[in-house]
Structure 1
Amino acid sequence: MAYAQTPSPEVAPHLAAAKEAAGSDLGAYLSLCQSADPNFKPTPPDLAALMKMPAPPPGKAFDNLYFVGSKWVSSWAITTSGGIILIDAMDNDDEAKRIVEGGLKTLGLDPAEIKTIIITHGHGDHYGGANYFVQKYGSRVVASDVDWSLMEGTLEFDSPLWGRPPKRDVSVKDGAKVTLGDTTIDILVTPGHTMGTISPLFDVWQGSQKHRALLWGGTAFNFGHNLERLQAYIDSTARTLKIAKQQGVDVFISNHDHYDGAVEKLAAKAAGGPNPFVLGEATVQRALTVMNECAQATLASWKS
């Protein structure tokens, strides 16, 4: 991390803690600490350029978890005895058809089996393709009650490149369970990125080995100078640290490849050896600690 000035005594301990937790392998999450630099000016993403990047091949992370996303934004498919649960639906109908539907077919899965779509939060790169599946396959859409209201009202972000928000369907709150066939997703609402962000918890399998997975539903501090939202993020990561430890979470994935390196891990997995998606409980704890400490550093910077 490079800063234009020496961090204040209030900020420095959090930056140090984040850097220590990041080690040599979690630098992507450490990038959140840039927001603690008073001179940092975030650059809005160039959606058109990001969406033009060639989509990586779809891949199998676990026996019941598949990646069907782009290099820019991820979509994950969980297979169950009752059909497929899709987590996030890409930017628009074209990507839903070409990347998600096409990817499932490439993997030998039937897109018509998409029964449930969980939208992690109310930004268009995650809900934009949902209507494609609703209209073609009758998929049900799950989102938090808070973010359904966000999608129905004034959107935080919008772009003509994104599909329109789906109509309110299944509304969930923190602690809810979404079940399809033999699989149950635990709904953890983690306010911050949006105030209704969902971070799903679920089991993944590799042969007879069961692992506990957490998909962090919204990572970046892209809400401007909003103290309430940043404090919510701090509280969410602190709470999730405890929950992840209690549940033995050893798989930590994202809905953006920039953070979890899913595309690279899929290539490594295909080459053989240990599954790179199994980080281990200690590394999951470190990832959440980096996010929490970067948020605390940013809050201290804003207040100083």
Structure 2
Amino acid sequence: MKKFLSTLTLACLLGACANAPTAAPGATVDAHVAHARQLAGSDLGYLMRLCEPQPAERAKPDEKMDDYLRKLIAKPAPPAMQVFDNLYFVGGDWVSAWLLKTSEGFVLIDSLNNGQEAHEVIEGGMARLGLDPRGIRYIVVTHAHGDHYGGAAYLVRKYHPHVIASESDWNTMEGQLEFTSKLWDAPPARDITVRDDQVMTFGDTKLTFFVTTGHTLGTLSLLFDVRSHGQVHHALLWGGTSFNFGKDFSRLESYSANAERMATMAGKLPVDVLLSNHSGWDGSLVKMKALRADGAAAPNPFVTGPQPVIRSFQVMDECAQAQALRFGY
């Protein structure tokens, strides 16, 4: 088996090894899972689903898959809310959509499954927050799966924002999709392409785009600043978490390497807010519930400090290594 790089040595140098023993070279599946569990501790348990065995074959579109998606989409969306001074949640129960406010308008990060959901959840959520959807200037598609690009074409027709994606995922959206569903609208037309480590400025706001290959061939993760209680925090939105690509060692290896890369950056900046585009992978629904209950004057539960961010990437790395071993690598 080709050895994956480990994040642990670097993270310990940054003071974030969480007293967890290293899963030694040549470790078993159980050892990697146990190490991930110890790293997850009591606060990151939602990430441990990533360590569960995954099928060797990619799911194929059928009525069963559509029924499953239909149930996920039908779950009542949480109330749209302001999470930071310049960041809003306007997503569903299952898949997230984040709205970043800049002096040049809004940057929408992902667009949900289809135009109907974009209308009801994104536009409806913005209306309830007193925000005008006509202010959406850009849509970032974090990766080429329909639950993230499905509402984009509807919003482009209505408000004419630009759409941003990576070259690899534009190619996927224009060619052979990895997954299809009757519940997903067609991908948007090719627009702006960003490369790895590219910085774009939107008025008073800078976004750095990282191509974090793994979940898809061109998954984008985003780094930007958020503000709360007069403080500026570095936020990283990890663009794709699960292993739903079947027995593909190159994807697992890339995933592991990018998890290590983001852990390095999280320690150096430091990154103290970690977000996802699915609420099940960042605990956002629980954090928003706490934010509503405690009020705006309370500490923001999304601000965790860098150590939980680093440990999150360590967990992802360990689970990727465990999955590679299950596949015989």
Work out whether the TM-score is over 0.5: yes
Q: How far apart, CA to CA, are the structure 2 residues paired with 1:187 and 1:278? A: 21
Aligned to 1:121: 143
Q: Distance in 2 between matches of 1:36 and 1:132?
A: 33
1:218 corresponds in structure 2 to 240
CA distance in 1, matches of 2:268, 2:316: 19
- Determine the C-alpha separation between the residues in 1 that align with 2:308 and 2:221: 18
Q: Distance in 1 between matches of 2:140 and 2:54?
A: 32
Task: Kindly provide the CA deviation profile for residues 17-67 of structure 1, in whole angstroms up to 9, marking residues without a partner as x.
Answer: 2011100111111111112799xx9x9681010011111110111000000
Render the CA deviation track for 1:254-298: whole Å, top value 9, x for unaligned.
111111121221121112232110111101011111001100111
**1:137-169 per-position Cα deviation (integer Å, ceiling 9, x unaligned):** 110000001100000001000111101100000
Name the amino acid aligned to 1:163. Answer: D
Look up the match of 1:197: 219
- SS at structure 1 position matched to 2:236: strand
Unaligned 5+ segments in structure 1 are: 1-7
Tell me if structure 2 keeps the 8 A contact 1:36–1:302.
no
1:171 matched to which residue of 2?
193
Q: Say if 1:166 and 1:121 are closer, same or farther in 2 by CA, change over 3 A.
A: same
Matches of 1:37 and 1:290, distance apart in 2: 20
Q: Aligned-pair distance for 1:221? A: 0.1
| Aligned residue among 265, 268, 275 for 2:300 | 275
Work out the CA distance in 1 between the residues paired with 2:176 and 2:102: 35
Structure 2 residue 41 is the aligned partner of structure 1 residue 18: no
Distance in structure 2 (CA, Å) of the matches to 1:37 and 1:64:
39
Aligned-residue RMSD, C-alpha: 1.8
Q: Provide TM-score, normalisation by structure 1.
A: 0.93
What's the counterpart of residue 46 of structure 2? 28
Please state whether the residue corresponding to 2:53 is helix, strand or coil.
helix
AA at the equivalent of 2:143 = H
Is residue 292 of structure 1 aligned with residue 317 of structure 2? yes
Once residues 280 and 24 of structure 1 are traced to their aligned partners in structure 2, the CA distance between those partners, rounded to angstroms, is 16
Match of 2:268 among 246, 250, 268: 246
SS in 2 for 1:223: coil
2:54–2:243 contact (8 Å) kept in structure 1: no
Contact 1:10–1:301 (Cα < 8 Å) also in 2: no
Q: In structure 1, the residue corresponding to 2:52 is in which secondary structure?
A: helix
Q: What is the CA–CA distance in structure 1 between the aligned matches of 2:168 and 2:305, rounded to whole Å?
A: 32
> Structure 2 matches for 1:70-89, cutoff 5 A?
70-89=92-111
Aligned length: 294
| Contact kept in structure 1, 2:54 and 2:244, CA below 8 Å | no
2:207, 2:222 within 8 Å by CA — same for their partners in 1? yes
| Kept after mapping to 2: 8 A contact 1:85/1:118 | yes
SS in 2 for 1:56: coil
Separation in 2 of the partners of 1:212 and 1:159?
35
Match of 1:102 in 2: 124
SS at match of 2:327: helix
Q: Structure 1 residues 207 and 166, CA, compared in 2 at 3 Å: closer, same or farther?
A: same
How far apart are 1:233 and its partner, in Å? Answer: 0.6
Report the Cα offset of residue 300 of structure 1.
Answer: 2.0
Match of 1:264 in 2: 286
Ranges in structure 2 where 5+ consecutive residues have no aligned partner: 1-25
Q: Does 1:59 align with 2:81?
A: yes
Residue 290 of structure 1 aligns with an amino acid whose one-letter code is V
2:256 and 2:321 in contact (8 A); partners too: yes
Aligned counterpart for 1:145 among listed residues 167, 187, 197: 167
- The answer to whether the 8 Å contact 1:68/1:99 transfers is yes
